[in-house]
Amino acid sequence: MRSGTVAVIGRANAGKSTLINVMVGEKVAIVSPKPQTTRDRILGVLTREDRQIVFVDTPGVYLSRNELTKRMMKTTETTSTEVDVILFVHDGHAGVKDEDLELAKKYFDLGIPMLVAYTKIDIMPKEKIPEDAKAFSEAGVEADLYPVSARKGKNISALEQGIYGLLPEGDKLFQEDVVSDRSERFMIAELMREKILLKYDEEIPHGVAVVVNTFKRRENGTYEINLDIVCEKQNHKAILIGKQGRALKETASFARKDMEKFLDAKVFLTAYVRVREDWRDSAGLLKELGYGDA
Ligand X SMILES: Nc1nc2c(ncn2[C@@H]2O[C@H](COP(=O)(O)OP(=O)(O)O)[C@@H](O)[C@H]2O)c(=O)[nH]1
- Residues lying near Mg ion in the complex (CB under 5 A) are found at 16-17, 37-38
Under rule CB under 6 A, residue 14 binds ligand X: yes
| Segment near ligand X (CB under 6 A); pick from 7-15, 70-78, 171-179, 217-225 | 7-15
Under rule CB under 6 A, residue 32 binds ligand X: yes
Q: Strand 223-231 vs strand 209-217: parallel, antiparallel, or unpaired?
A: antiparallel
CB of 37 to Mg ion, least distance (A): 5
Which residue among 76, 149, 155, 180 contacts ligand X (CB under 6 A)? 149
Residues contacting residue 40 through CB under 8 Å, at least 6 positions apart: 59, 72, 75, 290, 291, 292
Q: What is the CA radius of gyration of the chain?
A: 20
| Segment near ligand X (CB under 6 A); pick from 148-156, 171-179, 210-218, 276-284 | 148-156
Q: What angle do CA 43, 270, 179 make, to 5 degrees?
A: 15
DSSP H/E element including 177 = none
Nearest Cα neighbor of 23 from 142, 193, 150, 212 is: 150
Under rule CB under 6 A, residue 69 binds ligand X: no
Which residue among 3, 5, 38, 76 contacts ligand X (CB under 6 A)? 38
CB 60 within 8 A of CB 14: yes
**10 Å Cβ neighbour count for 22?**
20
| Segment near ligand X (CB under 6 A); pick from 9-17, 99-107, 133-141, 262-270 | 9-17
Q: Pick from Mg ion, ligand X, none: which does 149 bind, CB < 5 to 8 A by kind?
A: ligand X
CA distance 21 to 9: 15
Three-state DSSP state, 96:
coil
CB of 235 to Mg ion, least distance (A): 28
- Restricting to residues 112-131, which ones interact with ligand X according to CB under 6 A? 119-120, 122-123
Which residue among 151, 172, 199, 276 contacts ligand X (CB under 6 A)? 151
| Segment near ligand X (CB under 6 A); pick from 29-37, 48-56, 186-194, 270-278 | 29-37
Q: Strand 144-147 vs strand 209-217: parallel, antiparallel, or unpaired?
A: unpaired
Binding site for ligand X (CB under 6 A): 10, 12-18, 31-33, 37-38, 60, 119-120, 122-123, 149-151
